[in-house]
Amino acid sequence: MTSYLKIDHIDKSFERGGVRTDVLKDVSLTIEKGEFVSIIGHSGCGKSTLLNLIAGLTRVTSGAILLGNTEVNAPGPERAVVFQNHSLLPWLTVYENVNLAVSKVFAGKKSKTEKHDWVMNNLDLVQMAHAKDKRPAEISGGMKQRVGIARALAMEPKILLLDEPFGALDALTRAHLQDAVMEIHARLGNTMIMITHDVDEAVLLSDRIVMMTNGPAARIGEVLDVPIPRPRDRIALSADRTYLKSREAVLKFLYERHRFVEAAE
């Protein structure tokens, strides 16, 4: 039985001016349908590169990534990405931004009213239907990221890739959005991969946490299961033993065994 997403011994190196830099070395990972997996590591460890490889935005140097039975070698809507800085198109309204994705992905598959309903359905899901006629410049950072998530969900992806989706948000807004993502994950059962550098966020949201060693030539150092039953509640969890133990394990990995050494750059 093949797994849903299979990352099979991939290497990634960049060449610039004849100098070869290994970013990822021999990374293997399998992800099952409906799983929420976080990838955590210090900055510069290549976690964003890994996400870009899964998205198909960059090509692997060697090895392969398989989604179902097809190899990933180009970007596509079945691997929708939520970018760190929302990257909504500023000349389109909230509705038009989501509709751009819907009209492209469902061209010839849905009727006009079905497309409209699907856009509104996804805006409802992130509670942004009220701002459908606003432009990105008129809404807050958290709202923009909600729309970014709606746009990605509207592509009906097989796997949703979140690249530090809450990194640019303040702590309160971040908590709101984390809850929103958990709710969406519970309701739709999407497979999600999230890049983060926030330990609490990783433990709260994930079924498994993939911890990366420091680059260059970063590897997967450890994979931690987070066996906390869902639905999860951040307040109840703050005293939960499994939560605290998981959190400690990640912290130990990041700050004891794989301390970030700035001078190594």
Partner 1 sequence: MTATARKAQPASEAKPLTEPVMTTATVVALPKPMRSTFRPQAILAAAARNIVPPLVVVLIILGVWQIACSHPGASLPAPSQIWTDSADLITSPFFNNGPQDIGLAWRVLISLERVAIGFGLAAFVGVILGAVVGQSVWAMRGLDPIFQVLRTVPPLAWLPLSLAAFRDSNPSAIFVIFITSIWPVIINTAVGVRNIPDDYRNIARVLRLNQLEFFFRIMVPAAAPYIFTGLRIGVGLSWLAIVAAEMLTGGVGIGFFIWDAWNSSRLSDIIVALVYIGVTGFILDKLVAFVGTIVTRSN
**Which parts of this chain interact with partner 1 (CB under 8 A)?**
55-57, 74-77, 79-81, 83, 85, 87, 89-92, 100-101, 104-105, 135, 137, 155
Cα diameter, the chain: 57
Q: Which is nearer to partner 1, 4 or 83 (CB)?
A: 83
Q: Which is nearer to partner 1, 97 or 246 (CB)?
A: 97
Q: What's the token pair of residue 219? A: 């590897």
Nearest by Cα to 242 from 207, 198, 218, 210: 207
Q: What's the token pair of residue 221? A: 């150092």
Q: How far is the CB of 97 from partner 1 (least distance, A)?
A: 9
Q: Which is nearer to partner 1, 25 or 79 (CB)?
A: 79
Q: How far is the CB of 191 from partner 1 (least distance, A)?
A: 16
Q: Which is nearer to partner 1, 68 or 221 (CB)?
A: 68
Q: How far is the CB of 105 from partner 1 (least distance, A)?
A: 7
Q: How far is the CB of 77 from partner 1 (least distance, A)?
A: 6
Rg (alpha carbons) of the chain, rounded to whole number:
19
Q: Which is nearer to partner 1, 90 or 229 (CB)?
A: 90
Q: What's the token pair of residue 225? A: 């299961």
SS3 content of the chain, % helix, strand, coil (to 5): 40, 25, 35
Rounded Cα gap, residues 125 and 178, in angstroms: 14
What are the strands of the beta sheet with 208-212, ordered from one edge? Answer: 79-82, 159-163, 191-196, 36-40, 208-212, 220-225
Q: How far is the CB of 110 from partner 1 (least distance, A)?
A: 15
Q: What's the token pair of residue 238? A: 């703050």
Q: How far is the CB of 242 from partner 1 (least distance, A)?
A: 36
Rounded Cα gap, residues 151 and 98, in angstroms: 5
Q: Which is nearer to partner 1, 137 or 235 (CB)?
A: 137
How many helices and strands in the chain, by DSSP H and E?
A: 8, 10
Rounded Cα gap, residues 38 and 119, in angstroms: 27
Q: How far is the CB of 29 from partner 1 (least distance, A)?
A: 21
Q: Is 19 helix (H, G, I), strand (E, B) or coil?
A: strand
Q: Which is nearer to partner 1, 193 or 226 (CB)?
A: 193
